[in-house]
Amino acid sequence: MEEFTLEFKDIENLLEHIKSVLVRVGLNNLRVRFPADVTNVGSKGNYVYINVSQDYTERGIKRKIDLNMIAELAAFGRMGRQLGLKSSSELKGKKWQFQGTISFYKPRASFSIWIDTIAPLGESDITVRRREIYNALKSRNALRTEEHELSELQPIRKIAVISSPTAAGLGDFYSNLNLKEPYKPVIHLYESFMQGSETVPGILKALNMIKTSPIEYDVVVITRGGGSAIDLMYFDDLDLGMAISVFSREYCPILSAIGHERDFTIPDFVSWKRFDTPTAAAKAITEQVNNYIESLNQAEATLKKEIEWLFERALSLTEFEKLRDFSTRVETLIERSEEQFETVAERASRRLLSEIERAASFIDSLDRDSYGIIIERALERVSILTDNLFERACVILDRHLEESTSALEKVTIDVSLDNLLFRADTSLDLFEKGVARSLERILSSASSYLDELSSGLVEHGGYAASLILGGVVLKRGSQVVKSVIDVARGDRLECYLADGRATIIIDEVMEV
């Protein structure tokens, strides 16, 4: 029997026929009522668009129905006030009873449901399932029990990111990680599906790769942008929650940055720390590294000031001790010199009186001429004696001054200065050894890290790996020369070596 086929002159004629059939059988403008889970709500112009979903099984395969419904903005506002909603987003994640009219939309050859009544029913299936997983994780002590801050960690230098290379959230994360060299962290992307049934297997595989990697990462970031409740529901998985919890405790902290501020998934409850968005995670890492840089700068400035103060203190102490010792020695010298002067003066006075008395005793026994001669001679002897005594006093004083100055310079000041310099030298030695040990640790860490990068580069291959083994890479412009057939005599190429590059001109080409 030959099948009956309707023929139409164009698409519009076809759609008009379908619409007339729907009207004739009563499907167009048909009133319906049904429950559904709301996954998203949005508005455009004078209309509000409500997305609902439902899981079902067909021929043993799990499938999902996604349906878009429409409400006029004014009518939706009235329904929201009746429900006591503060915003349209409060519809999301819950099950509601909807009532409306089926309408055929010819421009898109589809039908839609115009909603005029919304009544509450309770939580959506997605929310109920998430709560069940949450309670299971709680019974296994897998939930995060305290809120952490990135300041608890060492400066973040190596980051493993689990995401899809095409995810918008990944781009937000990269663009907001505003750190300059040499402080910008090394970032390695471990690719995974971030939507659909392959989400959990992909993330678990990435975590295992990170765990077995020779690189010790400081943090792992699981990130993607926002989406509907259906898009994010694939993160609600018990095995994934347990894996993230164990990894954060035994290997390194996992940071979850999935969706937007209002979105919550199971990784948010078991990760080391949750961020509202990928942008928030990147900015927090930037702030953590910048804070460490600032603290290092402050420590450097403080250390510099302390060293300068120590040198100034040592100098001031040296000058003070020198002046104090000099003052003491001078006082002693003056006291000894005064004693010497008193002794010399006393002796001179006695000698002078003795000579005068001797001269006086001869006055009566001598004649006038002899008397004049004796007096003149006596005065000469007194003058000579006095001069000798004062010369001796000056010599004694000069000798004591010289001895005191020599002793002061060679013994007291030298010993005091030597002691201060010895202590300063010892402190500087300890400081230098401490700096050397710190530098040695830094160089050792850097060497180990470079060895890891080198091993990874050689293991994974690539043209740059040949540089490590003493080879070269030839390039013409931005293209790598892979074969001898790609060059000819007279070609000008760039030759890249491990420590620089050179320009070469091909003189001869030979095939091996």
Q: Which residues pair with 255 in a beta bridge?
A: 221, 273
User: What is the reported pTM?
Assistant: 0.46
DSSP 363: T
Q: Where are the domains of the chain?
A: 11-123, 129-276, 305-453, 465-505
Torsion of CA 284, 286, 288, 291, to 10 degrees: -130
Question: Per residue, what are the HEC states of 73-111?
Answer: HHHHHHHHHHHCCCCHHHHCCEEEEEEEEEEEEHHHCEE
d(CA 306, CA 313): 10
Candidates 21, 135, 150, 39; CA nearest to 94 is 39
One-letter amino acid at 257 equals A
Candidates 224, 294, 256; CA nearest to 148 is 256
- CATH architecture label of 11-123: Beta Barrel (2.40)
From first to last of its 512 residues, what are the pLDDT tens digits of the chain?
Answer: 456 778 878 878 877 888 888 778 777 778 888 888 888 898 888 999 998 888 888 888 878 888 889 999 988 887 887 677 888 888 887 888 888 888 877 777 778 888 888 877 766 667 788 899 999 999 999 999 999 999 899 889 999 999 999 888 899 999 998 887 777 889 999 999 888 778 899 999 999 999 999 999 999 999 998 877 767 878 999 999 999 999 999 999 999 999 888 788 999 999 999 999 999 999 999 999 988 888 888 877 888 888 777 777 766 666 666 656 656 765 666 666 566 656 655 665 566 566 556 655 544 454 445 445 554 555 566 556 555 655 665 566 566 556 655 554 554 444 454 554 455 455 445 544 554 455 455 445 545 544 554 555 445 445 555 655 667 888 888 788 888 888 888 889 898 876 778 888 888 888 76
d(CA 334, CA 330): 6
Coil vs helix vs strand at 395: helix
- CATH architecture label of 129-276: 3-Layer(aba) Sandwich (3.40)
